Structure formats: structure tokens, C-alpha cells
Amino acid sequence: MSTSSPSPRDVLLGAQAGAVVLPVCDHYSGVEARMKKSLALQAEMAEEFGACVFDVTLDCEDGAPVGGEADHAELVTGLALAAAPAMRVGVRVHPVDHAAFDADVATIAGRAGQRLSHLMVPKVESVDDVEKAAAALDAAGAGQLPLHVLIESPLAVQRAFDIAAHPRVQSLSFGLMDFVSAHAGAIPADGMGVAGQFSHPLVVRAKLEIASAAHAHGKVPSHCVVTEFSNVEALRAAAKRAAAEFGYTRMWSIHPSQIRPILEAFAPDEGQIELATRIVDAAVRQDWAPVSIDGTLHDRASYRHFWQVLERAHATGRALPNEALAWFPSSNTQTTAPPRNPR
């Protein structure tokens, strides 16, 4: 393909070509030592993969001790400013109705807004809460900073489509544990576990509503935590279900051991990558006219799907065939994935 040819992304996605593509893993930490280790691991894995493959979100809501919110905000600000420029660092502040919210945003976004990738706002109940968060960012001089919102109650789930429609919202996350506890015991405790969160009808419905709302408005749905952080197989199975069955394109990590399994679960396998490359390459050669591959007809609808498979492969650090490298200029010097560390 000529380097002057339009990118498949521009051709296939049209007006949506500028839509955000986020790393598939969002890693949370709030204790100082763990935040520093998370940032160090992010830089280490970026060197390994040749790109920043997961976000680090520094946590004020669960990380700040009661009465120590201002000091924690200062700590988080300093860590964000010290991170390497190519790294993606976000911050979860307190809810908009918390006494520390305004100070969180003024301190963190006011001083480090240009350095942050996003601001996560928990316990969003309505569009009004999004407006309050957006106004606080504007007042802090960080109006460019995307908002990620956490949907944690039945009422918020009901309003998910309206929340997702807000232009300042970039991603919707599902807050599993608060959602379950908001039901006053009507959902059993195992609804917060790996098995229950994929089987209880109310939890399943909430997950699907959030994912559907996000996709309806071109936003990124981010799947909830797996609290059994020492059970890697359970985490891997949950991540695969979130991606393959529930439509999520991103997932929370709460322990470093969860990051690689999430990357692997959300990444296409070699067969998918090879097929996607063949189909998109044939489409390019036919100037996007319909083609037949292995007896199956493909046109722009399927081209879009397979292009997005390649984008996900690129975002998760997977090896791309030579034919696909020209479509990702930053990867032109890399024909195979970097070696994995055996941790």
C-alpha cells in the first residue's frame, strides 16, 4: 500500500475515525508505594511492548485517608507530574458531592491537567453530576481533560444512555461492588464474585446496559474489577467473557498480576490477526469493493470489523504481519512482538 493512501481507519470509520481508542487495561492503585510501583511497571512494560499498553489511575477516593484528602491530592499530583511524558496516567477523585471533590480537581487538574490522560469521577448518578465535574475541570483550567465516569447504582444504570451521550464523557465503567450493595441484600454477596457477576440477572442486565450505552454513543465501556486477585485463571476467564460476551473493550485491574491476563484476554489471537490482515489487505487492493475470502463475501461492514480487530491487536502489543505494519506507522520497525518477561 502506498504511504500516501488513506488509512483504513479513515476510509472505514469515516466521521468515527477520530473516536477514542483506549488501552484495554486500566490499573488502579491508591497507596503511595503501590502507586509508585504501578508507574514503574507501566514504564517497564511500555519499553517491553514498544508502547504504553495500560493506563495507571491514581486513586484518591479509596486511597486518601479520612482527613488526609488534601495531602493525598498533593501526592497524586506530584506522581502524575513525575511520570514519563509518553505514559498514560489518570486520577480518580472523590464523588462530586464529597467535601473534597472541588479541592481534588483544583489541585490535581489545576496543576497536572496537561499531563493527565483522564479524570475518573465515581458514583455518577446523572448528567447533572457530569456537568458539575466538567465545570470543575473548566474552573481548574483543564477543560480538555476527558471524563471517565463510574456507574454504581440502579438509578445510574437507568440513566446510562444519557450519561454516555455527554460530550465530555469518554468512558463508562461499571462499579460492581457498590451496585450489589445498593440493592439492600436483594443480590447475594456472591454477586460480587467471579461466578455471580456473570450469572445474577440484575448484575448481567446492568453490565449489558452500560456496554450498550457506551457503544451507542461511541464511548469506551470498561468492565468492573475481579476481587479474587490471586486467582489468575478466574481473572482470565472473567476478562474473556467481558470482552467476548458482554461487549467490553477495557477492564479494571486492582493488582499487578491482573494486567497481563487482561491484555491477553482482550487481544485477538494469531488466527484472528492473520484473517483480519488478509481481508483488509484484499479490500485495499480492490479499492474497498466487495471481495470473497475462503468462499465468504466481505464488504465494508465486515471490513470495519476486521480493521478494528487489527486496531485491538496493535493496542495490546501483538505482533502484526508485514502487510499490516504500513497501516500503523509507529510499528513499522517492529515485525514481531517484543519478548514477554516471564513474571
Mean pLDDT for the chain?
91
Q: Confirm if 108 and 139 have CB atoms less than 8 A apart.
A: no
Q: 106 Cβ partners below 8 Å, 6+ apart?
A: 136, 139, 140
Question: What does DSSP assign to residue 83?
Answer: S
Q: What percent of the chain has pLDDT over 70?
A: 92
14 has a pLDDT exceeding 70 = no
Summarised one tens digit per residue, pLDDT across range 239-269 is: 999 999 999 999 999 999 999 999 999 999 9
In a domain, 337, yes or no: no
Q: Confirm if 133 and 95 have CB atoms less than 8 A apart.
A: no
Q: What is the CATH number of the domain that holds 182?
A: 3.20.20.60
Q: Is the same domain home to 113 and 238?
A: yes
Q: Is the same domain home to 109 and 229?
A: yes
In a domain, 9, yes or no: no
Summarised one tens digit per residue, pLDDT across range 184-227 is: 999 999 999 998 999 999 999 999 999 999 999 999 999 999 98
Q: Give me the mean pLDDT over the 317-338 stretch.
A: 67
Handedness of CA 315, 321, 327, 331 (dihedral sign): positive
Placement of cell 514498544 in the chain:
50
State the residue range of the domain holding 220: 25-266
55 has a pLDDT exceeding 90 = yes
In a domain, 8, yes or no: no
Cα dihedral: 30, 97, 116, 32 (round 10)? -20
Summarised one tens digit per residue, pLDDT across range 274-283 is: 999 999 999 9
> What is residue 336's predicted lDDT score, i.e. its pLDDT?
37
- What pTM was computed for the model? 0.88
Q: Is the same domain home to 298 and 209?
A: no
- The DSSP bridge pattern shows strands 296-298 and 291-293 to be antiparallel
Q: Is the same domain home to 307 and 248?
A: no
In a domain, 13, yes or no: no
> Between these two residues, 336 and 193, which has the higher pLDDT value?
193
Q: Is the same domain home to 280 and 165?
A: no
Q: Confirm if 178 and 153 have CB atoms less than 8 A apart.
A: yes
- As for how many domains the chain has, the answer is 2
Q: Is the same domain home to 182 and 317?
A: no
Q: Confirm if 310 and 319 have CB atoms less than 8 A apart.
A: no
How crowded is residue 200: how many other Cβ atoms within 10 Å of its Cβ? Answer: 20
331 has a pLDDT exceeding 70 = no
> What is residue 343's predicted lDDT score, i.e. its pLDDT?
31
Q: Is the same domain home to 119 and 235?
A: yes
- Which cell numbers hold the place of 89? 496516567
97 has a pLDDT exceeding 70 = yes
C-alpha span between 203 and 91 (Å, rounded): 26
3-state helix, strand, coil in the chain (%, to 5): 50, 15, 35
128 has a pLDDT exceeding 80 = yes
Partnered with residue 293 across adjacent β-strands are 296
C-alpha span between 148 and 152 (Å, rounded): 13
In a domain, 231, yes or no: yes
> What is residue 330's predicted lDDT score, i.e. its pLDDT?
61
In a domain, 100, yes or no: yes
Q: Is the same domain home to 253 and 135?
A: yes
Q: Is the same domain home to 68 and 180?
A: yes
C-alpha span between 281 and 190 (Å, rounded): 47
Q: Lowest mean pLDDT: which of 7-11, 44-48, 107-111, 224-228?
A: 7-11
Q: Is the same domain home to 273 and 245?
A: no
229 has a pLDDT exceeding 90 = no
- Which cell numbers hold the place of 318? 501483538
C-alpha span between 253 and 32 (Å, rounded): 17
Q: Confirm if 180 and 217 have CB atoms less than 8 A apart.
A: no
Q: Confirm if 252 and 222 have CB atoms less than 8 A apart.
A: yes
> What is residue 293's predicted lDDT score, i.e. its pLDDT?
92
Q: 25 Cβ partners below 8 Å, 6+ apart?
A: 53, 54, 55, 250, 251, 253, 258, 259, 262, 263, 266
Q: Confirm if 140 and 105 have CB atoms less than 8 A apart.
A: yes
